[in-house]
Amino acid sequence: MIYLDYNATTPLDPRVLEAMLPWFTEKFGNAASRPHRFGAEARDAVETARAEAAALIGADPEEIAWTSGATESDNLAIKGIAAAAKDRNHIVTIATEHRAVLDPCERLESSGFRISVLGVERDGSLSLGRLEGALTDRTLLVSAMHANNETGVLHPIREIGKLCRARGVYFHTDATQTYGKEAIDVEADCIDLLSASAHKFCGPKGVGLLYLRKRGPRVRCEQLFHGGGHERGFRSGTLNVPGIVGFGAAVALVGQDREKEQARIRSLRDRLERSLRSEIGGVETNGDPARRLATTANLAFDGVDADALMKALPDLAMSSSAACTSARLQPSYVLGAMGGSEERIRGSLRFSIGRFTSEADIDAAVRELSQEVRRQRKAPRA
């Protein structure tokens, strides 16, 4: 089996698992328990991981709140900011955002907030002029992802952040696909809130973070969960200590060799695209081919049905849309927002590459895909 769906989730790095295992057994304390040693030991582990997670993006450890993952973080950022708002009721986001951003915005719209959902260019990029034109003196928040989960297209978060800061608007970025992969500096990028999830960079599922700026400006955000006041009151609930330890361990690993790892992954992605074009032709990239994640190749295959291709190759893990969209059995709204035709969307597949992908995996995937694409193109159409 060949796994090329790293944007959906990543395999847990064995070194991360090794760091986590003691916290399931003999080190089982509750980090909120005081004052005994079991609780103190767990609390120290949580704070060590918090410091690792903050350092990766240039934040203060006190600005990191642990969550169950980026979906919760996105909801806390958007709904929490809205609940704390006093005189502003306008939120701006992008049509290609993850559903974890779009759905909370839709819920807020039904309760009286005004939501502006900006379109993108045909290559998936955001026009800064369009964003600037959407801001008003009532704008509370801009939520713009760092990289799109389907196409890998990178948005210029530093320019977006500076624009928001100049207008006194909070800036939230869903960095689920870039945390641990792309350079992020919350100060230089003028980011006020940031979401991330461990399982996107070879950490465990079920743990994520929300960065909330505490000064210049201080983010005012209401909690969604009540019942204990954990995480400086932002997120009540017993902390997932093994998961948080795993988050910290995964961060330590990406901090060691991020640039080298991303360069290797980029070369594999380029090998995949180059080989497919050479073998079968009729393959085009969806999204800006230059400004995108090293991990991601979203390719449109002429004369091919992507769902049929996936069914014919069950041992090759790839996707025709994001995992959240696949769960709803819907075509890619991201490619639709980019102006893709129905035929192009139907023939598009996302391949995402990661730490444990090898050249042999890429070459085997190319062979299997080429054979099946040729078969489909020769088959008579219904």
Domain boundaries, the chain: 2-7+257-376, 14-252
- Catalytic residue numbers read 324
Contact predicate 273/283, CB 8 Å: yes
Instruction: Look up the CATH number of domain 2-7+257-376.
Output: 3.90.1150.10
The listed CATH number (3.30.300.30, 3.40.640.10, 3.40.50.1100, 1.10.10.10) that belongs to domain 14-252:
3.40.640.10
Beta bridge partners of 171: 142
Contact predicate 90/136, CB 8 Å: yes
How far apart, in whole angstroms, are the C-alpha atoms of residue 371 and residue 374? 5
pLDDT of residue 232: 75
pLDDT of residue 331: 78
User: In this model, does residue 234 exceed pLDDT 90?
Assistant: no
Q: How many CB atoms lie within 10 A of CB 135?
A: 18
pLDDT of residue 322: 46
In this prediction, residues 331-360 reach a mean pLDDT of 95
pLDDT band at 320 (very low <50, low <70, confident <90, very high): confident
pLDDT of residue 321: 65
Instruction: Provide the b/e sequence for 198-233 (b: ≥16 CB within 10 Å).
Output: bbbbbbbbebbbbbbbeeeeebebebeeeeeebbee
pLDDT of residue 230: 76
pLDDT band at 381 (very low <50, low <70, confident <90, very high): low
The values of phi and psi at residue 30, to 5°, are: -90, 125
Termini Cα distance of the chain: 31
In this prediction, residues 38-44 reach a mean pLDDT of 91
In this prediction, residues 84-90 reach a mean pLDDT of 94
In this prediction, residues 210-238 reach a mean pLDDT of 85
